[in-house]
Homo-oligomer: A and B are copies of this chain.
């Protein structure tokens, strides 16, 4: 989770107090969920976790990195997408995405990860641990649909994957609340975009 020290290699010097990591991540996760990313104060987190800001900076390069790690500590795995109907899997995946991105502070963190000033290390971790798995699951769903023959064999899946989650971001950027049936409606559009049949039941 944290910075440099790899757990198994024995190095000289005082060992890190792992309880600090746990306490800081717990407190940061609470603050992140309760008040959002911007309101996350490292001084407040350190104080409430019973340590100092320097202990935080020793473990994480900055606020964004800590927030990303705190987010991962509370992240759950995505849904199992192995039903008979890939479109159903797609909608389920988008519903899971909707649930996650709707939590307080999550969209703000997305915004942070789009900014140039965000530490590359934090961005890389976020992309690897949050974005990439989601993209992989979406791609797997579409690939299976391709193998079954439900969608075009030469469909542009690389772009199609970006349509799925991108729709949410564009809606939020427009200042609109995505409708409750967003997963189904977006799933239906993407499904058609890659050549899927419009009606499900023949």
Contacts and interface: CB of A to CB of B under 8 A. Distances in A.
Nearest to A104: B116
A90 interface: no
Contact of A156 (B164, B189, B195): B189
Given A135-B174, A172-B114, A195 B192 contact: yes
Interface stretch (A3-11, A23-31, A51-59, A105-113): A105-113
Interface stretch (A12-20, A72-80, A81-89, A124-132): A124-132
A117 B111 CA distance: 11
A34 B182 CA distance: 38
A121 to B, nearest CB: 12
Contacts of A166: 162-163, 165-171
A200 interface: no
B156 A185 contact: yes
A160 interface: yes
A178 B135 CA distance: 15
Given A156-B185, A166-B167, A185-B156, A175 B114 contact: no
Contacts of A173: 110, 113-114, 127, 131, 165, 169
A71 interface: no
Given A189-B159, A192-B192, A116 B105 contact: yes
A194 interface: yes
Interface of A: 36-39, 105, 107-108, 110-117, 123-124, 127, 131-132, 135, 156, 159-175, 182, 185-186, 188-190, 192-195, 198
Given A110-B114, A114-B173, A169-B170, 11 more contacts: A36-B117, A38-B116, A107-B114, A108-B117, A111-B114, A131-B174, A135-B174, A162-B166, A163-B163, A165-B170, A166-B170
